[in-house]
Structure 1
Amino acid sequence: MLFTLLTTSETGVDFENRLTEGPNTNILMYEYFYNGGGVAAGDLNGDGKTDLYFTANMAENKLYLNDGALSFRDVTTLSGAGGRPGPWKTGVTMADVNADGKLDLYLCYSGALPAAKRANQLFINQGNDPDGVPLFKDEAAAYGLASTAFSNQLYFFDYDQDGDLDGLLLNHNPKSLPILNPVKTKQLLGQPDPERGLRLYRNDGGKFRDVTEKAGINGSALSYGLGLAISDLDNDGDPDFYVSNDYEVPDYLYYNNGDGTFTDRLGQQMGHTSHFSMGSDIGDVNNDGHPDILTLDMLPADNRRSKLLMADDNRSKLDLNLANGFHHQTMRNMLQINRGDGSFAEIGRLAGVSMTDWSWSALLADFNNDGWQDLHVTNGYLKDYTNMDFIKYMEDFVAERGRLQRADLRGLLEKMPASDVNNYSFGNRGDGTFTDQTKAWGLARPSNSNGAVYADLDDDGDLDLVVSNLDQSAFIYRNNGKGNHYLKVRLEGAGGNLAGIGARVEIRAGGVTQTREQFPNRGYLSSVEPELHFGLGDAAQVQSLLVRWPDGAVQRLKNIEANQDIVLRRSEAMDRPEKKSIEPVFVEVKSPLDFKHKASAKRDFDGELLLPRAYTHTGPWLDENGRISNRELWRQVLAGGSPSVAVTGNEYVPASYPRLGKLSVSIDGKPLSELPESLEKIGKIKAAARADLNGDGAEELILAGEWTPVLIYEYVGGKLIDRTEKYLPDSPSGWYNALHLADLNGDGRPDILVGNQGLNNTFTASKARPVELHAADLDQNGSIDPILSYYDPADGKRYPDATRDELLGQLAGLRKRYPNYERYASQTLDEVFPSWPDETLHLRADRLETTLYLSQPDGTYGLAPLPAEVQYAPVHTITELDYNGDGNTDLLLCGNDSQEKQRWGKSDANAGILLRGNGAGGFEYVPQAESGFRLRGDVRSVVKMDDLLLFGIRGEKARAYQQQRTEF
């Protein structure tokens, strides 16, 4: 196994974050009671070995010196850096605050305590005693950092690029989020609250001064910050930062303006975020040179816990939050991929990292030294505070008693279910996805873990793990990795920033480019050692290394041997180089259409809780003449050939889904009286095309839709004959939205590109484990009840997707069978519905990928690969281009879907995917910064008009793009 858990007797680390619950100290009195403490790693005594500091919420903090060979000794008392006894210690940071070459310690406090007991401490390193023990003195007041706020952690960085370290203090409001309205929200956001809000401190010659409001940062009481990550997100040389906020308060994405101020651009750069955002980290997970953002939330990975802990959708609350100026949120981890143009595509579900339960620390690091950053996540909450049965019990308890008394707390706490879950580790596959390696790497053991760091504790070239636990000894994991090479980089900065915090290092080795940034605050309430680690795989040499220092100076090295520690010095760097900008191919211009689509205001799910998605939110439709229709009736007329073909009907009917309006196919204006059997019991047809697939001069009809395969028909003797098996043997069913036929491989025959849901969604589907829909009038009330089901990857069993409240809200007759959430949570589909009525319609989807079928020499069609970015979101439009004039067909794919179930969240990661074709059926993704497309919303039609591309977007104004770059 990659990791081995070392015992306390082996390491000497006996730290345990022990909580003592009582009438005044419990989760019901203080909601952050189980949030845990942090860990800091760094060389405090200058002996070249990494030491460890742990914070305990109520017990004693611990400082351990590394004596080598993974053996540590407790020097907390001798060092004088233990902090005050008692509650409530939170985060810890190691940094050389006074630039004397020695790491200092900053300790944060919070809790429902008097202000004096919350005063943060800055322990300045005074040097070592004769035994090599570092001695510390609290000088927080002298430095202006003795804040009495409800603090989680202080982050040191040089935001104004003046050569010294400034501080960003992450605070939180200890009280639950109140019910807000737009007026109240505006009032609160306009009132600075230094005790609860975010605080920015500028270092003025060793004295830190609060410049929060002057810098444009919101420091109001609407602050529930649990995590903060710093990075140069737009590669302009200035550090930006991301704040993870709990509850409905939106996260903040602050971009550095380079003039001492920041601007929150979350709403412009991200489509949605985590709901209860917790820990976070920033790193380049796909090795494209742009830092990506990972935020954690609380979504369990298995069916049972998900149904026990997930609250019901509340669209009214979401609408109120949006009216308050908040952002779209969904309860799951989010992986925000940096597009390189300042915006982000959220692909956590596609990447396989969206569900890790109640999570705290996110660490992006290369644990197996293969050249790709992996992910370690701590999680756990001592009690299942959000267990739906407990919430119902507490609501009933309070309703019966009138109000909650302090004497009632013990009984309520005993009713709260305990929780022990595993932490998670994911290996980076190098293709934009991760695989769960928790068991394979030896990390699967129950715990309630919070802060965590990585560090090469034994100096063998791989990263070990240190994890802080509640009511359990800390984990020290030794990394046993062998075979792969590595490079470790230490930075010697200048002036007041000796660790080079903010520096960016890029290496090229083994055909892979990797990027790291020197921002040591990582791992939830924690900080890692100020050293950059690169795994190199089997590459024995680094071909090139480029470091950009915080002041913009650069340094280049070549042909560096692997498996060593190197030191980079600011004094050896060169002046700032000129930046090269990319001219985008397309630019947005004013639309010639003065039109805004009016979206339906209907809430489909209010009356039909079991609908898999909303169906009244369509359009707008643009034709090639720029004409617009808001029509709700789906109709596709396939002109340009003989005979003319029209496909109509098959539309959503309220209370009848998936039984739809009758499908009609007309030939030369005459409806066919008889349709093929394959069109009788079918899902919703959403796309149609016609083309001569076999070269016989007659055109075939191709159809696709939701819960349907790609279907191919020949028109023979006045009838449609199903020829799907002839062209697409074993054609999989999908949730198809679009069809496009064109000769993409140059063989003279049309190929088939079908737009599907994509892989960045709640479900996975295959022939063996499809997504399924059973539909019948199950309660005999005259309306159809659609039951969506899926296979849980955790155990391979098939479960209904509906929550208990959704199911009972539509099928009240099941209430006696499922009087509580626990009874329902583990029920498979066959247990909930052991039999189905004879008239039940059974549909399935086996494939969710947008798919390219290329014509084969034998007349059939075969699968061809597409770039991963195509699968980021549903594809609804496919447009042919030749933007670079090379004679090969290029493609523009657009789509998204913002009207899915609230608990599924928006699918909005398609900003206009431009694919460059090679003429042989192969396609390459053109990055957004190069293509220039920054489309947002649900694109439903694209039309080429003269030299413009016009986009019809649901509920938005028509947008237009024009090609400006013609030389390539």
Structure 2
Amino acid sequence: MTGSAKKWAWMFALLLTGRLVTSKGQTKALSLSFENVTAQSGIHFRHENAASEEKYLIETMGGGCAWLDYDGDGWLDAFFVNSSPTPKFRPLRIPRNALFRNNRDGTFTEVTAKAGLEGDGLFAFGAAVGDYDNDSYPDVFVSGYARSVLYHNNRDGTFSDVTDKAGLRHQGFWASSAGWFDYDRDGDLDLFVANYLEWSYEKNIYCGDRVPGHRAYCSPKHFAPVSPTLYRNNGDGTFEDVTRSANVYLPEGKALGVALADLDLDGNVDAFVANDGVRNFLYFNDGHGKFHERGLESGVAYSEDGVAEAGMGVDVGDYDGDGLPDIYVTHLDHEYDRLYRNTGNRNFVDATYDSGLGNSTYFFSGFGTRFSDFDRDGFLDLIVVNGHVLDNIQLLHPEVGYAERPLLFRNTGGKFVNVSSRLGEAFQEERVGRGLAVGDYDNDGDPDLLISNNGGPGELIRNNTSGNHWLEIKLIGKKSNRDAIGARITLWAGGRKRVDQVRGGSSYLSSSDLRVFFGLGRTAKAERIEMRWPSGTIQSIENPPIDSIITIEEAKSTP
């Protein structure tokens, strides 16, 4: 939808068990379509992949992007991370990150330098957004090669590098994706960092044929694995590495994606790690400060055929409406992306084929991904951005491209249909897709796309869906962490129950809108919302307004 600010018919505030603030919109006849609005939006970012004849592995993994309301005005701003010079890449202009402030009219203004987020020569990969000090302004952890950076939001439009002070330099690791979550439920956000592998410029080796143009980026199998890292928030602006004491240490990982959600619905946030070429990890949180890795027992460590695949991006969502969060993992071409259906009791089954997703992804290399109800019909759809890791892949596989189209699978009620070819030019353009963040940047009630392409432009894809009812919910924790990451929301509308979570991490190197979006289809009334906050508080609201963005504050106690 477009021109959202003009379509808001009214605004009001209502005091319930917590505080509820509503912005109401309108609906029209259904039409699912997307439009690339990058040029007119004012977003002008280009990722520099630092390509060289040495084929350094870091050149092909790309960078992430993020939605965040850095200035607290209620409108999502856009952030992209970038690379840096290497021994074989010495540009006249050093690559910089980019922050674009939302002007609330469909356009953005770059404010990177003013905000202090340009970067300091870090070869950056991911962006994890979270309010780690509960001051109501989002902070940013930028993961990178050899070290990472924590930016604290100063609440005046600027950020400060507090990495050393906070103890989050994360030195010596190639950090990929990262995510914030409150694993110990003490009311502040902790940080989970996915580390890729042991690689350095000195350890770079020659892969491929020794023929001009045939050298290739090396497979991760040539490099040693490493463990993910868990940092506990001490509540005073500093963090402690608790990887070993919390049972997270597993040195056989090659992690690229991480999803943080309560997968067994016990009230504690768990962690799924997508590994590249080795088995995936599934850490269940026991609620007592420790994790237990059960990927193999739960059925998500390997494919249905028992193969450790090239895990890239990951997301969690209840695609079949049974109230249990399912897992989707993206992979390289000739492997299929995988959908693991949650059957309860910490068990999952590979539902890739049964769900209709099977063959559609076979020739694609998937990275960023997200469950979201793009057409607002009440069922979670699925999007994947694609792009190969080998820039000369067609020498080996002529049927596979380096630049590839994104894919969108429409959920028809537990079964997916590939509708990408019917979504307009934005889904026909080939790109070397990596990062994907989903969020309603124009506050019109449908999820839009922010895409980061390896060695290519950052893109803003607007969702022009019209019709069907919707509800968008922002939670504010009081006893819980302020972002309410880990909260579970249940919505009853039209005789159906829908369940979602405020989740950290997910996708690939990126951070999406923390507001939870529900499509309602033709249902014109929502009966009830129930929030299960990370603190354990259970709170409900009867007859919430629909076609609205509502803000709910955590009540002081269970009503």
For the aligned pair, the TM-score class normalised by the smaller chain equals: 0.7 to 0.9
The residue that corresponds to 1:53 in the other structure is: 79
Structure 2 residue aligned with 1:515, among 492, 499, 520? 499
The residue that corresponds to 2:314 in the other structure is: 280
Say if 1:136 and 1:436 are closer, same or farther in 2 by CA, change over 3 A: same
User: Is it true that 1:215 corresponds to 2:246 in the alignment?
Assistant: yes
Structure 2 residue aligned with 1:262, among 291, 309, 316? 291
Structure 2 residue aligned with 1:152, among 167, 173, 176? 176
The residue that corresponds to 1:824 in the other structure is: none
User: Is it true that 1:291 corresponds to 2:308 in the alignment?
Assistant: no
User: Is it true that 1:427 corresponds to 2:410 in the alignment?
Assistant: yes
User: Is it true that 1:503 corresponds to 2:487 in the alignment?
Assistant: yes
Distance 2:459 2:356 in 1: 25
Q: Deviations over 1:629-688 (max 9, x none)?
A: xxxxxxxxxxxxxxxxxxxxxxxxxxxxxxxxxxxxxxxxxxxxxxxxxxxxxxxxxxxx
User: Is it true that 1:524 corresponds to 2:508 in the alignment?
Assistant: yes
User: Is it true that 1:42 corresponds to 2:71 in the alignment?
Assistant: no
Distance 1:333 1:416 in 2: 18
The residue that corresponds to 1:232 in the other structure is: 262
How far the C-alpha of 1:218 sits from its partner, in A, is 2.4
2:349 match: secondary structure: strand
Distance 1:82 1:179 in 2: 33
The aligned amino acid for 2:167 is G
Distance 1:119 1:77 in 2: 21
Q: Deviations over 1:914-954 (max 9, x none)?
A: xxxxxxxxxxxxxxxxxxxxxxxxxxxxxxxxxxxxxxxxx
Distance 1:543 1:483 in 2: 20
The residue that corresponds to 1:492 in the other structure is: 476
Say if 1:142 and 1:179 are closer, same or farther in 2 by CA, change over 3 A: closer
Distance 1:47 1:178 in 2: 46
2:40 match: secondary structure: helix
How far the C-alpha of 1:382 sits from its partner, in A, is 5.7
The residue that corresponds to 1:376 in the other structure is: 383
Q: Deviations over 1:22-68 (max 9, x none)?
A: 234x2xx32x4211111110110111111010012342210000001
User: Is it true that 1:166 corresponds to 2:190 in the alignment?
Assistant: yes
Say if 1:45 and 1:427 are closer, same or farther in 2 by CA, change over 3 A: same
Counterparts of 1:34-433 in structure 2 under 5 Å? 34-58=60-84, 59-85=95-121, 88-110=123-145, 118-128=146-156, 134-148=157-171, 149-175=173-199, 196-206=226-236, 207-220=238-251, 222-247=252-277, 249-270=278-299, 272-273=302-303, 275-299=309-333, 310=334, 331-354=335-358, 355-356=360-361, 357-381=364-388, 383=390, 389=396, 419-430=402-413, 432-433=414-415
Distance 1:212 1:520 in 2: 18
Q: 1:539 touches 1:562 (CA, 8 Å); kept in 2?
A: no
How far the C-alpha of 1:284 sits from its partner, in A, is 0.5
Distance 2:293 2:194 in 1: 16
How far the C-alpha of 1:154 sits from its partner, in A, is 2.5
The residue that corresponds to 1:23 in the other structure is: 53
How far the C-alpha of 1:387 sits from its partner, in A, is 5.7
Say if 1:240 and 1:529 are closer, same or farther in 2 by CA, change over 3 A: same
How far the C-alpha of 1:494 sits from its partner, in A, is 1.9
The aligned amino acid for 1:568 is I
Higher relative contact order (CA 8 A, sep 6+): 2
Distance 2:283 2:50 in 1: 38
The aligned amino acid for 2:293 is D
Say if 1:179 and 1:98 are closer, same or farther in 2 by CA, change over 3 A: closer
User: Is it true that 1:478 corresponds to 2:462 in the alignment?
Assistant: yes
Distance 1:517 1:417 in 2: 36
Q: 1:384 touches 1:416 (CA, 8 Å); kept in 2?
A: no
The aligned amino acid for 2:229 is R
Counterparts of 1:689-708 in structure 2 under 5 Å? none
| Greater displacement, 201-210 / 363-372 | 201-210
Distance 1:215 1:388 in 2: 46
Distance 2:385 2:193 in 1: 23
2:310 match: secondary structure: coil
The residue that corresponds to 2:552 in the other structure is: 568
Distance 1:565 1:236 in 2: 28
The aligned amino acid for 1:254 is Y
1:561 match: secondary structure: coil
The residue that corresponds to 2:527 in the other structure is: 543
Distance 1:499 1:423 in 2: 30
Distance 2:329 2:478 in 1: 32
Say if 1:17 and 1:178 are closer, same or farther in 2 by CA, change over 3 A: closer
The aligned amino acid for 2:515 is E
Please give the TM-score of this superposition, normalised by the length of structure 1: 0.49
How far the C-alpha of 1:122 sits from its partner, in A, is 0.9
Please give the TM-score of this superposition, normalised by the length of structure 2: 0.83
Distance 1:417 1:460 in 2: 37
2:227 match: secondary structure: coil
Distance 1:153 1:429 in 2: 31
Distance 1:566 1:119 in 2: 38
Q: 2:33 touches 2:463 (CA, 8 Å); kept in 1?
A: yes
The residue that corresponds to 2:216 in the other structure is: none
Q: Deviations over 1:576-631 (max 9, x none)?
A: xxxxxxxxxxxxxxxxxxxxxxxxxxxxxxxxxxxxxxxxxxxxxxxxxxxxxxxx
The aligned amino acid for 2:467 is G
How far the C-alpha of 1:233 sits from its partner, in A, is 1.0
Distance 2:198 2:43 in 1: 32
Counterparts of 1:538-687 in structure 2 under 5 Å? 538-574=522-558
2:555 match: secondary structure: helix
How far the C-alpha of 1:386 sits from its partner, in A, is 5.7
Q: 1:520 touches 1:529 (CA, 8 Å); kept in 2?
A: no
Say if 1:385 and 1:332 are closer, same or farther in 2 by CA, change over 3 A: farther
Q: 2:178 touches 2:258 (CA, 8 Å); kept in 1?
A: no
Q: 2:530 touches 2:540 (CA, 8 Å); kept in 1?
A: yes
The aligned amino acid for 1:338 is N
Higher fraction of helix: 1
Point out where structure 1 has 5 or more consecutive residues left out of the alignment. Answer: 111-117, 129-133, 181-187, 300-309, 311-330, 391-414, 576-968
Identity, % of aligned pairs? 30
Say if 1:387 and 1:281 are closer, same or farther in 2 by CA, change over 3 A: same
How far the C-alpha of 1:555 sits from its partner, in A, is 0.6
Distance 2:61 2:399 in 1: 17
1:63 match: secondary structure: strand
Q: Deviations over 1:214-256 (max 9, x none)?
A: 1112242x22101111111111111111100001x21001111
Point out where structure 2 has 5 or more consecutive residues left out of the alignment. Answer: 1-30, 85-94, 200-218
Q: 2:176 touches 2:195 (CA, 8 Å); kept in 1?
A: yes
